Amino acid sequence: MPSVERELLNDAPGMTDHARVISQLLTDRFSCRAYLDDPVPHDVIQTMFALSQSAASWCNSQPWQVHVTEGNATERFREAFYGRATADAAARKMRRASDFDFPAAYTGVYKERQREVGWQLYKAVGIEYGDRKASGIQALENFRMFGAPHALVITTERDLGTYGVLDCGSYLGTLLLAAESLGIAMIPQAAFASYSPLLRDFFEIPANRAVVCGASFGYADMSHPANNFRSRRATLEDVVSWLSE
Ligand SMILES: Cc1cc2nc3c(=O)[nH]c(=O)nc-3n(C[C@H](O)[C@H](O)[C@H](O)COP(=O)(O)O)c2cc1C
């Protein structure tokens, strides 16, 4: 199935000034995999979270809660997280555990899309096909939070089940746009969720809360090759089915 570049829809039917702003934000946003050291000021992070509180949720339940790091806490977290993941990688021993099952398999078109974006990243950073050592090192960057000055973890109330997770997805999408609108780069990371016990200890997450995913954020290092590609998207024909009669 073909995939396409994302593009500005400035001249599409019905576009308004508001829609052009949204289009710009949606087109500019990307998952950032290299950061500058500069932290995001505390009050700007507050604004990002304040904007994101407008996310929709079933029954307005707003099940999301966020743990966020800044300053020394980021460095303590990076040390614990990266230390554990690199030790696991060296021992070839998975000590990972997530609160929700990870996908059992990516097959068919999902496998194709996973491969495409994976190769875009490897090509950007100069990893050759089959170089498992280099791809392993790149994968570990997740746990170094790609050098970001901030990490966050999103949790849901366990009792709300699948729809609580869906509401957290709604929150995550809103958060990504809020960040982009403030010039903050971010990457959502399921990689965080694979170390739920470590996150629980570090952030003192209570038993009634389940870890949905994490994210790293800060200001993008645009000179880094990992930030030099853009993921593609399925065509509308692959996604939307019309019924008119
Ligand atoms: C729920 C979720 C989990 C993700 N987990 C990871 C991750 O662990 N590591 C990573 O490098 N990217 C992760 N991503 C980023 C995706 O790879 C990225 O969103 C996708 O390729 C589309 O690219 P874009 O965000 O640049 O538009 C995740 C994205 C989402 C929404």
Q: Where are the domains of the chain?
A: 32-102+135-230
- In this prediction, residue 146 carries a pLDDT of 98
Q: Which of 29, 31, 154, 175 to mutate to test the pocket of ligand 1 (most atoms within 8 A of CB)?
A: 31
- 92 alpha carbon to ligand 1 midpoint, in Å? 24
- 189 alpha carbon to ligand 1 midpoint, in Å? 6
Q: 178 or 2: which carries more pLDDT confidence?
A: 178
213 pocket-lining for ligand 1 (C-beta < 6 Å): yes
- In this prediction, residue 80 carries a pLDDT of 98
- In this prediction, residue 156 carries a pLDDT of 98
Ligand 1 atom index nearest CA of 172: 31
Q: Which of 99, 187, 199 to mutate to test the pocket of ligand 1 (most atoms within 8 A of CB)?
A: 187
Residue ID of nearest Cα to ligand 1 atom 18: 31
135 pocket-lining for ligand 1 (C-beta < 6 Å): no
Ligand 1 atom index nearest CA of 30: 26
- In this prediction, residue 103 carries a pLDDT of 94
- 245 alpha carbon to ligand 1 midpoint, in Å? 38
- In this prediction, residue 160 carries a pLDDT of 98
- 14 alpha carbon to ligand 1 midpoint, in Å? 30
Mean pLDDT score, 22-51:
98
- In this prediction, residue 1 carries a pLDDT of 75
Residue ID of nearest Cα to ligand 1 atom 29: 188
- 133 alpha carbon to ligand 1 midpoint, in Å? 22
- In this prediction, residue 96 carries a pLDDT of 73
Tens digit of each residue's pLDDT (9 = 90 or more) over 106-120: 999 999 999 999 999
- In this prediction, residue 92 carries a pLDDT of 82
Position 18 pLDDT exceeds 90? yes
Q: Indicate the pLDDT class of residue 184, thresholds 50, 70 and 90.
A: very high
Ligand 1 atom index nearest CA of 169: 1
Q: Indicate the pLDDT class of residue 165, thresholds 50, 70 and 90.
A: very high
Per DSSP, the residues of the chain read --EE-----TTSTT--HHHHHHHHHHHH--B---B-SPPPPHHHHHHHHHHHTT---GGG----EEEE--THHHHHHHHHHHHHHHHHHHHT----B-SSPPPS---HHHHHHHHHHHHHHHHHHTPPTT-HHHHHHHHHGGGGGGG-SEEEEEEEEGGGHHHHHHHHHHHHHHHHHHHHHTT-EEEEEHHHHTBHHHHHHHHT--TTEEEEEEEEEE-B-TTSGGGS----EE-HHHH------
227 pocket-lining for ligand 1 (C-beta < 6 Å): no
CATH number of the structural domain 32-102+135-230: 3.40.109.10
Mean pLDDT score, 171-197:
98
For the whole prediction, is pTM greater than 0.95?
yes
Q: 92 or 59: which carries more pLDDT confidence?
A: 59
Position 102 pLDDT exceeds 80? yes
188 pocket-lining for ligand 1 (C-beta < 6 Å): yes
Tens digit of each residue's pLDDT (9 = 90 or more) over 60-87: 999 999 999 999 999 999 999 999 999 9
Mean pLDDT score, 131-155:
97
- 244 alpha carbon to ligand 1 midpoint, in Å? 35
Mean pLDDT score, 238-244:
97
Position 238 pLDDT exceeds 90? yes
Mean pLDDT score, 156-185:
98
- In this prediction, residue 66 carries a pLDDT of 98
Mean pLDDT score, 56-62:
98
